[in-house]
Amino acid sequence: MSIPPLQVSTNQSATHLASDVVDATDNANRFSWTPFLWFTPAILILFLVTLYPTIFVFWLSFQKTKYYELVGFTGLANYVEVLRSSEFWDTTVISLTYVGGSLAGAMILGLSSALVLNRAGVTGSTLRVFILFPWTLSMSVVGSIWLWLLNPSFGPVPYVIQKLGIDPGLMLGDPGMALPLIIIVTAWWSFPYVMVMATAAMQSIPKELYEAVEIDGGGAFVKFRYVTLTEILPTLGSTALTLSIMYLTLMTLIIVMTGGGPLGSTTTLSFEAFRGTVQAVNIGPTAVVSIVVLIINVALGALYSRLTGRATG
Amino acid sequence: MADVTLSRVRKSYGALDIIHGADLGIRDGEFVVLVGPSGCGKSTLLRMIAGLETITGGDIRIGGRVVNDLDPKDRDIAMVFQNYALYPHMTVATNMGFSLEHRGTSKAEIAGRVKWAADILGLSQLLDRYPRQLSGGQRQRVAMGRAIVRNPQVFLFDEPLSNLDAKLRVQMRAEIKELHQRLKTTTVYVTHDQVEAMTMADKIVVMHDGYVEQVGAPLELYDYPANVFVAGFIGSPSMNFLNGRVEAGRFVLEDGHKLPLPAGVADTSEKVIYGVRPEHLTISAEGLPLTVTVVEPTGSETQIIARHGAQTIVCIFRDRVLPKVGETITVAPDLSRVHLFSESTGRRLS
């Protein structure tokens, strides 16, 4: 008894279809300006809102200023002044500490909560919605909440710390404690973003890989290290980069909670740019600080697009 | 190598029963195929043997040992998945050696076993490649290599050839069978394709809606199906079924037509299903008249789909019979190959 053979067509030799050739010629012959005209409003707005201010600040960094008055072109004098000042480098260190610390906090908290809640089924899904809460708040609200929580006189957090037998000190008023506290608040605010990204990545891992580990003899740690982590690493990488870019330009929280103090211990580069423009009005050198932030962000952005490009390519 | 015994194995998800009391004995070294349509419970049963699903009731024994509460890694089994489940960020060699690494085997021994498995499966040139650089068939071989490196007591295959194209499937079928003849490890193989079952199995287990319908050697199931479901499932194209009654030694169809019966069939008042395979019908002067609707010559044989009244009958002829559509042909069954089933229970009437 013989069975009629299955006719399965697989284009394994990558033959060109006649219709492909037709499409290509069609597109080549149909070039027009219309698509570009549709883009023009968007490009104009983009230019106005991002490119123009950036070029303007760049130009400002070469000017000598006195409050809001432009006095004259000074070349690289502003740059020299800024890069020579020890305060600038202190500020840079604070910025980098802030970014690094917040990133570490957000990633660890986000990844842990994603791992825990992913295995919790329906309860996990519900909890995830509530855990998203910090991310939905605006920064000024976050700042106000935590100002109250951390208030040394009547805030709940110092109260609990005191009950545990430790002296809470001045909290945000303490130059040594202010930055770590700001980092904790930033991590609290942004970890749900990491959790969502990590969860999405984890849910696209085929279940069979875990089953293969179970049969091969690996435990929970092996599953995490060889399956979960390796599969979500690209997502974690791009999440980390997006967050870094965001943290670098974040200043609302610092404005609300510490105003850059005490004693400049929470003055990041972005905050310095803000203060130099709005408060101290020292436009020239402040523009330099802005440019430094821009350069770091551009580098991070390039890294980000290269990584995600490789992931999709 | 070990035998596998399933005693009254049940599986339920809450109030829903998936498997209703399966009993099965698999001898050491046997190649058993669990076959059935989608949703019949064959994969669930396989995963229960593997330890990837909990057992609601009954016992599963591997090598005489009850394994109900044992983790998959302690059951000494290896599994080949439908989607290969290769670790994407590890080379072929690391994939194959992964399980041995986690059992504390020495590096030298791991390398030796990986080489042995790679040689058997023709993977020696591919050991440094990553899964994404391999074709479907190569990936499936790596998955098999990962299983045989462990030298387990039982191999479990979960529809491993479903993702391959038809030609590759035929080739891999033979390779798996050869592997089994070489290693002689007890194998439980799940598929929905009855051709795979017929060509590969020492013993076939036909499943349907969580019940084991029949267990037997391939030809036994082909020649003596225990019920209508097995009769219609095994064999392609499927067996033809006609409804009617047994009267005065003849089979009477609903429209009055009479068909011959094999000797020794008693008259019965109950309704009966007359089953005959397409390949057991021949053109003859006297017999069942059919109106031809489709003629399919495949070169080696001719498949004809015809109608008798409202009923569709499929015939396969070795000779090149090429009637025109709409023509009437008369077919007669090979009496030694006629099957009778009770219409009410579906079971075979001997």
Model pLDDT for residues B254-287, shown as the tens digit of each residue: 888 888 888 877 777 788 999 999 999 999 888 8
The pLDDT of residue B118 is 92
pLDDT, greater one: A72 or A100: A100
pLDDT tens figures, A103-152 = 999 999 999 999 888 877 778 778 888 888 888 899 899 999 999 998 88
Question: Is the pLDDT score of A311 beyond 60?
Answer: no
Residues of chain B positioned with their CB less than 8 A from the CB of A208: 81-83, 85
- pTM exceeds 0.80 for this model: no
Instruction: Identify the top-confidence range among A31-45, A206-220, B192-206.
Output: B192-206
In angstroms, rounded to a whole number, what is the distance separating the alpha carbons of residues B126 and B96?
12
Question: Cα dist. B43→A115, A169, A209, A267, B227 in Å?
Answer: 28, 63, 17, 61, 22
Task: Dig out the tokens for B240 from the structure.
Answer: 């033809």
The pLDDT of residue A11 is 52
Question: Is the pLDDT score of A17 beyond 70?
Answer: no
Give the DSSP H/E element, type plus range, for residue B315: strand B311-317
Question: Is the pLDDT score of A204 beyond 80?
Answer: yes
Whether B348 and B225 have beta carbons less than 8 Å apart is answered as yes
Whether B62 and B152 have beta carbons less than 8 Å apart is answered as no
Contacting B with CB below 8 Å, chain A residues are 1-6, 8, 10, 206, 208-209, 211-212, 214-218, 222, 226-227, 230-231
- Stretch A200-223: mean pLDDT, rounded? 89
SS3 labels along B56-122:
CEEEEEECCEECCCCCHHHCCEEEECCCCCCCCCCCHHHHHHHHHHCCCCCHHHHHHHHHHHHHHHC
Question: Is the pLDDT score of A249 beyond 60?
Answer: yes
Omega before A156 cis (within 30°)? Answer: no
Contacting A with CB below 8 Å, chain B residues are 50-52, 71-73, 77-79, 81-83, 85-90, 98-99, 102-103, 146, 150, 165-167, 195, 235-236, 277, 279, 296, 298, 300-301, 303, 316
Q: Considering only alpha carbons, which residue of chain A is nearest residue B96?
A: A216
The minimum CA-CA distance between A108 and chain B, rounded to whole Å, is 23
Whether A265 and A91 have beta carbons less than 8 Å apart is answered as no
Question: Is the pLDDT score of A5 beyond 80?
Answer: no
Inter-chain touch B52–A2, beta carbons under 8 Å:
no
pLDDT tens figures, A185-195 = 999 999 999 99
The chain-wide mean pLDDT, for chain A, equals 83
The pLDDT of residue A70 is 76
The pLDDT of residue A62 is 85
Inter-chain touch A2–B236, beta carbons under 8 Å:
no
The pLDDT confidence band at residue A14, using thresholds 50, 70 and 90, is: low
Residues of chain B positioned with their CB less than 8 A from the CB of A215: 50-52, 72-73, 77-79, 99
Q: Where are the alpha helices (DSSP H) in B184-227?
A: 194-200, 218-223
Q: Considering only alpha carbons, which residue of chain A is nearest residue B143?
A: A212
Q: Up-side HSE of residue B19: CA atoms within 13 Å toward CB?
A: 27
Question: Is the pLDDT score of A310 beyond 70?
Answer: no
ipTM for the complex? 0.82
In angstroms, rounded to a whole number, what is the distance separating the alpha carbons of residues B331 and B287?
5
Whether B60 and B175 have beta carbons less than 8 Å apart is answered as no
Q: What are phi and psi of B275, to 5 degrees?
A: -115, 135
Q: Considering only alpha carbons, which residue of chain A is nearest residue B302?
A: A4
Nearby residues of B125 by Cβ (< 8 Å), 6 or more positions away: none
In angstroms, rounded to a whole number, what is the distance separating the alpha carbons of residues A240 and A260?
25
Inter-chain touch B83–A230, beta carbons under 8 Å:
no
The pLDDT of residue B8 is 92
Inter-chain touch A211–B235, beta carbons under 8 Å:
no
Q: Which residue of A5, A211, A222 is in closest CB contact with B52?
A: A211
The pLDDT of residue A22 is 63
User: Between A229-249 and A283-312, two packed helices, what is the crossing angle to 10 degrees?
Assistant: 160
Inter-chain touch A217–B236, beta carbons under 8 Å:
no
Inter-chain touch B166–A209, beta carbons under 8 Å:
no
The pLDDT confidence band at residue B155, using thresholds 50, 70 and 90, is: very high
Q: Which residue of A3, A208, A230 is in closest CB contact with B195?
A: A3
pLDDT tens figures, B245-262 = 888 888 888 888 888 888
The pLDDT of residue A170 is 82
The pLDDT confidence band at residue A25, using thresholds 50, 70 and 90, is: low
Location of structure tokens 């229970």? B345
The pLDDT of residue A7 is 46
pLDDT tens figures, B159-185 = 999 988 989 899 999 999 999 999 999
Q: Considering only alpha carbons, which residue of chain B is nearest residue A209?
A: B85
Task: Dig out the tokens for B37 from the structure.
Answer: 């349509």
The minimum CA-CA distance between A214 and chain B, rounded to whole Å, is 6
- Stretch B103-108: mean pLDDT, rounded? 86
Inter-chain touch A2–B298, beta carbons under 8 Å:
yes
The pLDDT confidence band at residue A15, using thresholds 50, 70 and 90, is: low
pLDDT tens figures, B39-79 = 899 999 999 999 999 999 999 999 889 999 999 989 999 99
The pLDDT of residue A312 is 42
Q: A15-24, A171-180, B209-218: which has the minimum mean pLDDT? A: A15-24
